[in-house]
Amino acid sequence: MSDPAAVVAVVTGGNRGIGLEVCRQLAAHGHTVVLTARDLAAARAAAAALPGAVVPFRLDVTVPGDADHLAAVLAERFGRVDALVNNAAIHYDTWQRAASAELDVVRAAAETNVYGPWRLAMTLLPLLRASTHPRIVNVSSEGGSLASMGGGTPAYSMTKAALNAVTRMLADELRRDRILVNSVCPGWVATDMGGPGGRPVEDGAAGIVWAATLPDDGPTGGFFRDGRPVPW
């Protein structure tokens, strides 16, 4: 890739957990990181705690106007986006089973976990096309793998499977634009969402950063954990 100092990376849900660590690692690469969160104060506090060029920004991925505003600011300030990391997600619904799921919970999860990243990718597409080495990373989960899916966490699992479908479709369509699009499972990580007992957040974030910094001949349309393929 080009001079890392020139790379502009956007990370959604960047104020805590895996998203925060992704921002930390990208900034350590010398990238300019746009750290987004639904709450501006939370974004500012997170950005202030990180070294390097980290820019806080308020973004609710479920609000179309927020995505439009982000695109306008990025266009004026940077003129492009080199990497988009769609990390924001909600509803790890361990209390539900598929046969008795509250569908309102599933719909709400889809707004953030599927339509949000899909919308943001479309909105930022002109800026990604302006990059020399554009990358889109959709943070998914092994829970979204049809090969191993069970009846638990129905809202989370179904929406992550749908996000994987978005990855495949965008990767195919955007191949001609040299935009590499991949899904990444960070694994079970010790975060507020994942709970205690998971592996270190640094390890989960590393696979996401790997996909965001792939060389030009890297894979596209894949589903990975730690740089290795995960069954769909």
CATH number where 11 lies: 3.40.50.720
pLDDT band with cut points at 50, 70 and 90 for residue 3: very low
Share above pLDDT 70 across residues of the chain, in percent, rounded to a whole number: 94
Per-residue pLDDT at 195: 57
Number of H helices, E strands in the chain: 7, 8
Q: What is the average pLDDT score of the chain?
A: 94
Range with the poorest average pLDDT among 81-90, 105-114, 183-192: 183-192
- Amino acid making up residue 98: A
What is the pTM for the complete model shown? Answer: 0.94
Average pLDDT over residues 164-176: 99
Mean pLDDT computed over 205-230: 98
Q: Is the pLDDT of residue 110 over 90?
A: yes
- Residue 189 is predicted with a pLDDT of 77
- Domains: count for the chain: 1
| Residue-range definition of the domain harbouring residue 96 | 4-229
User: Does the pLDDT value for residue 197 go beyond 70?
Assistant: no
Q: Residues near 34 by Cβ (< 8 Å), separated by ≥ 6? A: 8, 9, 10, 11, 55, 57, 70, 74
Catalytic site residue 115? no
DSSP state of 12: T
Please pick, among 57, 78, 156, 223, the residue that the annotation labels catalytic. 156
Instruction: Give the model confidence (pLDDT) of 160-169 as tens digits.
Output: 999 999 999 9
SS3 84: strand
* pLDDT score, position 187: 84
